[in-house]
Structure 1
C-alpha cells in the first residue's frame, strides 16, 4: 500500500471515529431524556480500505412503541373515569357512612319505628321528620355532586381537545422536518424523536394509530378509524357545555366533522381510549346512570309516603316527601333531577309552621287526607303503614341498571354498592393498564434508550481507534519527511 493510500485510510478512519465519538457524546448528554432514542453512526468500508460514516440512525422498536401508545391511551381513559368515581365515592359515602342516602334511610326507618312505639311523643315525631330532612338533603347533595362531576368532565374534554389541536400543529412541523430531511438524506433522528414524543402526548388525549409512508411521512388516525392527520392536521372541535344539570346533555367531540365522543357519535366511530373517551363516558354514562339511581330513590320515597284521599276520592298527593316546595304530584315514572329537588313537606316541619304529628295523622294535603280522624294520641296505624311502605317493593326505571322489583331501602343500598363496584372495576383495570404501561415503557427504554455503561465502553474503544489512526498518520508523516529529506 502506498503512503498516500495509507494516509487516506487513516484520515477517513479518523474522521469516522470522530463522528462516532460525537454521536456517543450526544447520547450520553441525553441519557436522562426519556423521549430521546440512542443514535447510531452507521459506518461502511471504503474502496481504499478506509471507513466513513454513511448516515446516523436511531435505535427503534415499532412494535413496542405502538404497544406503549395503546397502553398510554387505555390508562388515560381509566384514570379519567376513576377520578370522577373517586369524587362521587368520597362525597356520597357508602352503606356504612353517616352521609350516604342508604345509611340515612336506615336512621329514618328507626326514627319512624320509635315514633310508632310512642305516637303521642312530639319529640320522637320531630326526630322522624328531622331524619327525613337528612335523607332529602343527602339526595340533594349527591345530585349536586353528580352534576359537578359531569360539569368538570365536560371542562376537561374542552381542555383535552385544545391540547389535541396544539399537538397536531406541533406534529405537522415535526413531520414536515422529517419528510424533507429524509428526502435529501439529512440526519432526521432528532426530528423523529420530537415526532414520537408528540405522538406519545397525543395518545394520552385519545387513542390513535399511525401509518408510515414514503420518506418517513406519517398519517394519524383515531383508534376508531377517523383521520386526524394526513399531510395536514384535521380540525378537532368541541363546544363546552358550561354548567350541566340532570336534564341537560353534554356536546359531542368532532374530528374533521365526524362525532367521535358524546351524543351523536356512532358505535363504530366512538373513541375507544384516551382521556377524551374517559371523560365522555364519565359525563354521559357513569354519572348519568348514578343520577338516575338517585332520582329513582327520590321517586320511591315520594311514592311510599304519598297520601290518599280518605273520603273516597282517588287522587293521591305527595305526603312527607315532595318533588319541590308546593309540588304535590306523585311521579309515576323517572323524573330527571328529582333527587336534587326532593324536600320534606312544610306541613310536617314545625320550623315552617307545620306539625310533626301530620306524619302520624296525615292531612298534609288538607282534611280529606287525614287518617287519624278522631285525633287519637295513641294512633300508630299510619306510622306502621309508612314503615311497611319503606320495605314494600316498587318498580324502577331500567336505565338505573339495578333490580327493579325491590324496596326503596334495598334499591338505595344497591345504588351505593353499584358505585363501589364501578370504582373497584375501574381501579383494578387502571392498576393493570398502569403495570402494562410501566413494563412496556421499561422494555422500550431498554431497546431504544441510552445505556451509559455501553456508551462509555464504546467511547473507550473509539478513543483507542482514534489514537491508532492518529499514530498511523504520524508514522506516514515521518516517512514523508524522511523521503523529502533524501530527495532534497
Structure 2
C-alpha cells in the first residue's frame, strides 16, 4: 500500500470517528427531548480500483420502531380520553356528594327532613318553622348548584373542543410545512433528521387530540389519518376543521340544536360521521357535552321533579288546588312534565313561606294558600309533608323504576354518580398503565446512555489508531526528507 493511500485511509477514518462522535453527543444531549429519535451512523468500506480505500459514511439514520411508535400514539389518545372523562366524573361527584357525606344532595334532604320533624314536635315555635324553610331553601340551592356544575362542565367541554380544533388545525399546517422542507433537504442530499424529530413531536401532540395513523409518502412526506379513517393530511393541503363554540351552554341545548358538531372542509359532520374522530380528548369533550353531562342533568331534573310533585299534592296540603304551586316551585310556577328539562337549575321555594319575599313561615304549618294563620299547635301539615317525603311511591314521568322514598331516590343518584366515577377512574388507570408500558418499550429503543458511552469509547480507540497511522506516515516522510 502506498503512503498516499494509507494517509487517505487514515483521514477517512478520522472523518468517520468525528461524525460518529457527533451522533453520540447529539444522542446524549437529546435523550429526554420529546420526539427525538436515536441517531446511528451507517458506514461501509469504500474501494478504489478494486482495493480497500478507507471508510465511507453512508449517512446518519434515525432509529425508530414504527410499530411501537404507532401503538404509543393510540395509547396516548386513549389516555387523554380517559383522563377527560375522569375529570368530569370527579367534578360531578364532588358537587352531588356520596352517601353519608356532608355538603351533598342527600345530606341537604336529610337536614330538611330533620328540620320538619323538629318543627312538627313544636309547631308553635316560629324559629323551628323558619329553620325548616331555610333547610328547604338549602336543598333547592344544592340542586341549583349541581345543575349549574353540570352546565359549567358542558360549557367548559364546548370551549375545550374549540381549543382542540384550533390546535389540530395549527399542527396539521405545521406538518404540511415540514413535509415540504424535508422534501427539499432530501433532494439536496442534506440530513433532515432534526425536522423529522420535530414532525414526530407534533404528530405525538395531535395523537392526544385524536388518534392518528401515519402513512409514509414519497420524498420523506407523511400522510395522517384518524383511527376511524378520516383524512387529516394527504398531500400539501391539510383537512380544514372548524367548530363554533356556543359560549354558555344551557340544559335545553343539544347537539344539532344550539350546539355545533365538527365541520370538515366546510361541511358539518353528522352524528354518525363524528365516529371518524372517536378517541382522544376531542371525542371525550364531545361525550361530556352531549352525553355524560346531559345524563346527569336528567337525573337531577328527575329528583327535582319528584321533590316538587310530592309536596304539590292537594292530598298533602289541603289548601292547594290541582294547579297550585307547592312548597317547591319551577322558578315561581308549577313544574310540568313537558318542561322538566333543566328543572334542577330552576327549582326554588314558594314565596308564600319566605318572609323576605312577603310570605310567612307559619304557612308551612297552616297551608301554603291559607288566608289566615291556623291553630299554632296543629302539626298535621308538617307531619304530612314528612310522610310525603318518606312515602314509597313512583312518580310518573321520571326515569326511576319501582316505588321508593325520596331519600332512596337521592341515594340512588348518589350511587350512580359514585359508580360512574369509580368506573372512569378504573378505566383511566388501565389506559395510563397501557400507555406507560408502551412508552417504556418506545424508550427502550431510544437513547441508552451506557450503550452510547461504549460507542464513544470505540470511536476514541478508532481515532487513536488512525492518528497513529498518520503519525507513522509523518515519521517516515521526515526520515525520507532527511536522507
The TM-score, its normalising length taken from structure 2, stands at 0.89
Contact 2:320/2:326 (8 A) holds in 1: no
Match of 1:115 in 2: 119
CA distance in 1, matches of 2:65, 2:402: 52
Is the aligned partner of 1:447 residue 2:445? yes
Offset of 1:296 from its aligned partner?
1.3
Offset of 1:403 from its aligned partner?
4.1
Match of 1:44 in 2: 44
Determine helix, strand or coil for the equivalent of 2:214: strand
Cα RMSD over matched residues?
2.7
CA distance in 2, matches of 1:60, 1:312: 79
Q: Map 1:201-280 onto structure 2 (within 5 A).
A: 201-231=205-235, 232-249=237-254, 250-257=259-266, 264-266=270-272, 269-280=275-286
Match of 1:339 in 2: 344
Q: Decide whether aligned partners of structure 1 residues 404 and 238 sit closer, same or farther in structure 2, where only a CA change above 3 A counts.
A: farther
Match of 1:3 in 2: 3
Range that drifts further, 195-204 or 473-482: 473-482
Determine helix, strand or coil for the equivalent of 1:322: strand
CA distance in 1, matches of 2:415, 2:319: 41
Match of 1:388 in 2: 387
Q: Map 1:98-109 onto structure 2 (within 5 A).
A: 98-109=102-113
Question: How many pairs are equivalent?
Answer: 472
CA distance in 1, matches of 2:339, 2:227: 36
Offset of 1:105 from its aligned partner?
0.9
Offset of 1:57 from its aligned partner?
0.2
Q: Decide whether aligned partners of structure 1 residues 235 and 103 sit closer, same or farther in structure 2, where only a CA change above 3 A counts.
A: same
CA distance in 2, matches of 1:155, 1:111: 42
CA distance in 2, matches of 1:165, 1:268: 17
Offset of 1:365 from its aligned partner?
4.0
Offset of 1:233 from its aligned partner?
1.2
Offset of 1:183 from its aligned partner?
4.5
CA distance in 1, matches of 2:152, 2:358: 34
Match of 2:459 in 1: 462
**CA displacement 1:423-467 (0-9 Å, x = unmatched):** 22112222222222222222212212x222222221221122122
CA distance in 2, matches of 1:434, 1:385: 53
Determine helix, strand or coil for the equivalent of 1:393: coil
CA distance in 1, matches of 2:307, 2:370: 20
Range that drifts further, 301-310 or 226-235: 301-310
Offset of 1:40 from its aligned partner?
0.6
**CA displacement 1:455-481 (0-9 Å, x = unmatched):** 222122112212212222333344455
CA distance in 1, matches of 2:245, 2:162: 6
Residue 475 of structure 1 is aligned with which of 466, 472, 475? 472
The TM-score, its normalising length taken from structure 1, stands at 0.88
CA distance in 1, matches of 2:421, 2:267: 31
CA distance in 1, matches of 2:319, 2:434: 68
Contact 1:259/1:265 (8 A) holds in 2: no
Match of 2:22 in 1: 22
CA distance in 2, matches of 1:297, 1:283: 21
Q: Map 1:65-84 onto structure 2 (within 5 A).
A: 65-84=69-88
Contact 1:298/1:342 (8 A) holds in 2: yes
Is the aligned partner of 1:175 residue 2:186? no
Match of 2:429 in 1: 431
**CA displacement 1:227-262 (0-9 Å, x = unmatched):** 1111121112111111112112332123334656xx
Range that drifts further, 247-256 or 158-167: 247-256
Offset of 1:123 from its aligned partner?
3.1
CA distance in 1, matches of 2:92, 2:352: 33
Contact 2:353/2:360 (8 A) holds in 1: yes
Offset of 1:409 from its aligned partner?
2.5
**CA displacement 1:57-93 (0-9 Å, x = unmatched):** 0111112111211121111112222223333333333
Residue 90 of structure 1 is aligned with which of 76, 81, 94? 94
CA distance in 1, matches of 2:228, 2:462: 53
Match of 2:324 in 1: 317
CA distance in 1, matches of 2:366, 2:377: 10
Range that drifts further, 380-389 or 32-41: 380-389
Contact 2:313/2:320 (8 A) holds in 1: no
**Unaligned segments of structure 1, at least 5 residues:** none
CA distance in 1, matches of 2:290, 2:233: 27
Offset of 1:220 from its aligned partner?
0.9
Contact 2:363/2:370 (8 A) holds in 1: no
Residue 358 of structure 2 is aligned with which of 353, 356, 381? 353
CA distance in 2, matches of 1:284, 1:396: 25
Is the aligned partner of 1:308 residue 2:314? yes
Range that drifts further, 151-160 or 301-310: 301-310
Q: Decide whether aligned partners of structure 1 residues 336 and 186 sit closer, same or farther in structure 2, where only a CA change above 3 A counts.
A: same
Q: Decide whether aligned partners of structure 1 residues 92 and 314 sit closer, same or farther in structure 2, where only a CA change above 3 A counts.
A: closer
CA distance in 2, matches of 1:8, 1:460: 23
Residue 282 of structure 1 is aligned with which of 288, 308, 311? 288
Match of 1:31 in 2: 31
CA distance in 1, matches of 2:403, 2:186: 67
Residue 126 of structure 1 is aligned with which of 99, 123, 130? 130
Residue 295 of structure 1 is aligned with which of 293, 301, 305? 301
